[in-house]
Structure 1
Amino acid sequence: MLNLNIDEGRGQLFNIAQRLLAIDSPSGYTEQAAREVEQIARDHSYPTRRTNKGSVIVSVPGREKGKKLGLCAHIDTLGLMVRSITADGMLMTTRIGGPILPTLDGEYCRIRTREGKVYTGTILSLSPAAHVFDDVLTRPRDEKNLAVRIDEKVRTREDVEALGICAGDFVCIDPKTEVTESGFLKSRFIDDKGNAACLLTLLRLMHFNGLRPRYDTEVCFTVHEEVGHGGATLPAVDELLAVDMGCVGDDLSCTEYQVSICAKDNNGPYDYGMVTRLVELAKANGVDYAVDIYPHYGSDVAAAWHAGMDARGALIGPGVHASHGMERTHYDGLKAAMELTALYLELA
């Protein structure tokens, strides 16, 4: 039985999501996002600590001993990094994680230098003008054919270098976050800041309602998931539940209004007992859910397993449409993910 009214946290859920989404945090540049997570947790009386790699851990004491649980969501995002500077002052980039490059054509961005300077720019095809280029519609949108136009008066490579911009600087994509009156959250990087917001909102609701999980729980916010090793150095637990995005599309059954329970991704099946328990909890408590197979997916649980963690593992998350592009989910899906997480923790 769910001992919590998730709707009490609706406003804070969207507020926390917007706070996190407003912070640039491509993998490798996550310090400010980690500090924001720490601040939100501490505001609700939860102590935090960091791993050496920068993940934020919130330890929540349980009502009884017997085993230790782990929850994880990631606060790193997709992005770009400066690879080189062209002779006419454009920036060529390399991907961080797996953004869908054609969706970046025309997107605003910020270039962050190692000296702390921030410049704005636009990601564009190298054939950007309909009045000029014969191949404006057909030129590939890939790393060789997309570049960043900097919003500074630069005409040469030397002009750009004089600004302090160089190879290795981060290019952070504007997420364009909006919350609609109809309950949709649309933004880049809902994967996985939407679910980090779910866990932080759940901690907030637990604090104000005086609820604790049945077992000691480590709530982990990882910072290298998009590049494959976020969960590799998490604290030892008996069970690890990743709260990440659920997939929508093709032959999958999940929608943006449900929580998805992943039975298998491209790293193999998740723990049969945990998946079965999550399905039974959703059924028994009227949580709208779907069970799906994710064909192109890896989670922090898989990273933990590959690193040798001896833990059972499972993956859930609200349905997110257009993953790694202009993503969208709905409050109903976020709520369902929070409800299933709360049921899993056996809050009381």
Structure 2
Amino acid sequence: MNESKEVVNLIKELVSIPSPSGNTDKVITYVDEFFKGLGLETRRNRKGGLLVTVEGENKDRHRFLTAHVDTLGAMVKEIKPDGRLKLSMIGGFRWNHVEGEYCQIQTAEGKVYSGTILMHQTSVHVYKEAGDAKRDEKNIEVRIDERVSNEEEVRSLGISVGDFVSFDPRVEITESGFVKSRHLDDKASVALLMEVVKTIKNEGTTLPHTTHFLISNNEEIGYGGNSNIPAETEEYLAVDMGAIGDGQATDEYTVSICAKDSSGPYHYELRKHLEQLAIKHEIEFKTDIYPFYGSDASAAIRAGFDVKHALIGPGIDASHAFERTHETSLVHTGQLIYQYLKSEMTNN
């Protein structure tokens, strides 16, 4: 599995579809049509996620893989008297990471308006405290690209409290192989699962175990993949971003294998199995600990599922902000997913 260009093209398509947690139907439909095009049966769960099953030789011991398409975003909290919008955060990020960003407001009727996320005290010619004012929900607002100057004019557009606000991904692929975009967490991993499944189908490979793929849609708010896990499932692999920063082993050029995050250690034997597969198949990897992190796999464990859980993913720099990875990290992550799916299950 080495189709980096196809993966990058899928990432570009996915990040360009707005999908903050709670408003993911359009991107789920895109992924659904992709899998149906491969001849696979799909179904939606009641939460709006997508479940795809690939039958394997062993139908008694199942595997379960997940990646999520929901992203960070916001919701209209208040329409201000001057026609600007106050926001309520969806997911965990810092307001300064979206200051100055272009955005879209989607109304309940499906209309879409563009805008810019700004500090109220933006103009240095007017506000002495422009550089010092706190970046928080009190000062951050949306300037709508319409001729509005009061609350009534905004409401006449159909904009109201509860409308979803999505951030411009600003996706860019560099000649040096970097993929820069918002929402690589976790649409890069979704693209990898899509491409790996496509490779397996095109090869006519029969997997050793029946395997389920859940494209979850609530991970950023903590409960994307903790349901719809078949009773036969023994191994649960979350594919999500590897966190990069001071003291971290993860980088943008290898696949990251998580040993522990804020939920505690991941299953030791399953983690070792993934490391051994990487060594055997010359897949470059880094084992790491993510101090402020949780995954769909850890959510499933917290929900009480009796499974072995693991977490891998491409290394993503500046997570939940101006994210970036390299195509080599995507390649190594895809190769590890591919080799894992073709391997026999751990016995411990």
| Category of TM-score, reference length = shorter chain | over 0.9
Q: Structure 1 residue aligned with 2:72, among 69, 72, 78?
A: 78
Task: Count how many residue pairs are aligned between Structure 1 and Structure 2.
Answer: 342
Is the contact between residue 212 and residue 347 of structure 1 (CA under 8 Å) also seen in structure 2? Answer: no
1:13 maps to a residue whose letter is V
Give me the whole-angstrom Cα distance separating, in 1, the residues matched to 2:40 and 2:175.
32
1:292 maps to a residue whose letter is D
**How far 1:336 sits from its partner (Å)?**
0.8
**How far 1:66 sits from its partner (Å)?**
4.2
- What residue is the counterpart of 1:303 in the other structure? 299
Give me the whole-angstrom Cα distance separating, in 1, the residues matched to 2:133 and 2:90.
22
Is the contact between residue 238 and residue 295 of structure 2 (CA under 8 Å) also seen in structure 1? Answer: yes
**How far 1:252 sits from its partner (Å)?**
0.7
1:278 maps to a residue whose letter is L
Moved more, 305-314 or 76-85: 305-314
- What residue is the counterpart of 1:89 in the other structure? 83
**Structure 1: any 5+ residue segments left out of the alignment?**
1-5
Moved more, 76-85 or 305-314: 305-314
- What residue is the counterpart of 2:276 in the other structure? 280
Give me the whole-angstrom Cα distance separating, in 2, the residues matched to 1:298 and 1:40.
28
Q: Structure 2 residue aligned with 1:21, among 15, 22, 38?
A: 15
Q: CA RMSD in A?
A: 1.2
**How far 1:174 sits from its partner (Å)?**
0.5
Matched, 1:48 2:42: yes
Is the contact between residue 79 and residue 99 of structure 1 (CA under 8 Å) also seen in structure 2? Answer: no
Runs ≥4 residues deviating over 3 A: none
- What residue is the counterpart of 1:228 in the other structure? 222
Is the contact between residue 184 and residue 330 of structure 1 (CA under 8 Å) also seen in structure 2? Answer: yes
Same amino acid, percent of matched pairs? 44
1:226-305 maps to which residues of 2 (within 5 A)? 226-236=220-230, 237-305=233-301
Moved more, 47-56 or 59-68: 59-68
1:164-179 maps to which residues of 2 (within 5 A)? 164-179=158-173
Q: Structure 1 residue aligned with 2:309, among 300, 304, 313?
A: 313
Structure 1 SS opposite 2:196: helix
1:246 maps to a residue whose letter is G
After superposition, the C-alpha distances for 1:224-260 in whole angstroms (9 at most, x for unaligned) are: 0000010121322211000000011110111100101
Structure 2 SS opposite 1:238: strand
After superposition, the C-alpha distances for 1:10-37 in whole angstroms (9 at most, x for unaligned) are: 2211111111111000000000010000
- What residue is the counterpart of 2:110 in the other structure? 116
Moved more, 320-329 or 130-139: 130-139
Matched, 1:36 2:36: no
After superposition, the C-alpha distances for 1:43-84 in whole angstroms (9 at most, x for unaligned) are: 111111111111101100113344100010000000000000
Give me the whole-angstrom Cα distance separating, in 2, the residues matched to 1:314 and 1:95.
29
Is the contact between residue 4 and residue 330 of structure 2 (CA under 8 Å) also seen in structure 1? Answer: no
Moved more, 52-61 or 302-311: 302-311
Matched, 1:69 2:63: yes
Q: Structure 2 residue aligned with 1:102, among 96, 101, 107?
A: 96
Structure 2 SS opposite 1:158: helix
2:129 maps to a residue whose letter is D
Give me the whole-angstrom Cα distance separating, in 1, the residues matched to 2:315 and 2:9.
20
Is the contact between residue 184 and residue 328 of structure 1 (CA under 8 Å) also seen in structure 2? Answer: yes
Structure 2 SS opposite 1:106: coil
Q: TM-score, normalised by structure 2?
A: 0.96
Matched, 1:329 2:325: yes
Give me the whole-angstrom Cα distance separating, in 2, the residues matched to 1:205 and 1:184.
23
Matched, 1:212 2:186: no
Q: TM-score, normalised by structure 1?
A: 0.96
1:180-195 maps to which residues of 2 (within 5 A)? 180-195=174-189
**How far 1:281 sits from its partner (Å)?**
1.0
**How far 1:99 sits from its partner (Å)?**
2.3
Give me the whole-angstrom Cα distance separating, in 2, the residues matched to 1:303 and 1:225.
9
**How far 1:214 sits from its partner (Å)?**
1.2
Structure 2 SS opposite 1:273: helix
**Structure 2: any 5+ residue segments left out of the alignment?**
none
Is the contact between residue 126 and residue 147 of structure 1 (CA under 8 Å) also seen in structure 2? Answer: yes
Structure 1 SS opposite 2:211: strand
2:228 maps to a residue whose letter is L
Give me the whole-angstrom Cα distance separating, in 2, the residues matched to 1:173 and 1:63.
43
Task: Pick closer, same or farther for the CA change 1:347–1:293 going to 2, 3 Å.
Answer: closer
